Amino acid sequence: MKSSIIRAVIVDDEKPSREALANDIREYCPGVEVVAECKSARSAYKSILEKDPHLVFLDIEMPGGNGFDLLKMFKAIPFKVIFITAYSEYAIQAFRFSASDYLMKPVNIGELTEAVNKVSQELDRKESFNSITTLLENLESPGGEINKLVITDNKGFSVIRLNELIYCKADRYCTLFHLNGNGTVLSSKNMKYYEDMLPPDQFMRVHNSWLINLRHVTGYTHQGEITLTGNLSCPLSVSYKPVFLKFFRKLR
């Protein structure tokens, strides 16, 4: 895409919001051409089929069909999506878990240009991975529980189930994920990024370099070692010991 313009469609039921975003894109994102502005999911579906955009700026809440309803109209989604939302905290969490780009209203220019640059790089690399499927699955999971996590790695992306994740281990500026069945994934993001994201009632830091899934704890030794599913183990540092032991006593 380095030598091409990114064709974009804006979908928002509020005309002032559509116009403001279109103006910001024209002024601050010179590599993007807005080819259509739509006020509903139905009109957006027609425009997307006609214009074949690379990118869709998609509002979530719209009368007569929200942004997710629009995405469900496609068997496959051949375009990138940047969500525009004032949505609930749960939805924001789902966006983060699925590595989906989103902008909060009112749109911040710096965040807009950063999201567009990320899309441009993905198009340059011809990444075909579609995180929307994971996003929709997380949003529709029973009880509102996040089930899957998209991990950025050297090859692009990996999708894992949270209940399969045994531990995360810091590896310099990266994070190593160890999965049930001895599978591993190395993420290009640091462990603090995932610690802030993962549910604290299920994942606990037990060492400066270790974050474990409490559902995979099988025991604890007086030598300061936590045993985990699959005959795995990890160290328990002195500073994290009181919190962990408080949890461990509840299991007995």
Q: What is the pLDDT of residue 130?
A: 62
Q: What is the pLDDT of residue 127?
A: 59
For the chain, give percent helix, strand, coil, nearest 5.
40, 30, 30
Q: What is the DSSP letter of 108?
A: P
User: Tokens representing 236?
Assistant: 């328990």
Q: What is the pLDDT of residue 129?
A: 54
Question: Given phi > 0 = left and psi -120 to 50 = alpha, else beta, which region is 37?
Answer: beta
Give pTM, 2 decimals.
0.74
Of 168, 167, 177, 160, the residue nearest 227 (C-alpha): 167
DSSP H helices, the chain, are 15-28, 41-51, 67-71, 89-97, 109-124, 132-139, 191-197, 241-251
| 189 and 157 Cβ atoms separated by less than 8 Å | no
Please give the Cα distance from 98 to 93 (Å, whole number): 9
Please give the Cα distance from 249 to 194 (Å, whole number): 26
| Whole-Å CA distances, 42 to 10, 38, 46, 92, 224 | 13, 9, 7, 24, 59
Compute mean pLDDT per 10 residues along the chain, 252 residues long, and list them.
Answer: 81 95 97 96 95 94 85 88 78 78 91 93 69 80 79 79 95 93 89 90 95 94 91 94 85 62
Q: What is the pLDDT of residue 169?
A: 97
Structural domains of the chain, with CATH: 6-138 (3.40.50.2300), 161-251 (2.40.50.1020)
Q: What is the pLDDT of residue 36?
A: 97
Q: What is the pLDDT of residue 111?
A: 95
Amino acid identity of residue 133, one-letter, is: T
Residue with tokens 């950063």: 114
| 210 and 235 Cβ atoms separated by less than 8 Å | yes
DSSP for 196-231, written as a single string:
HHS-TTTEEEEETTEEEEGGGEEEEETTTEEEEGGG
User: Tokens representing 191?
Assistant: 């462990």
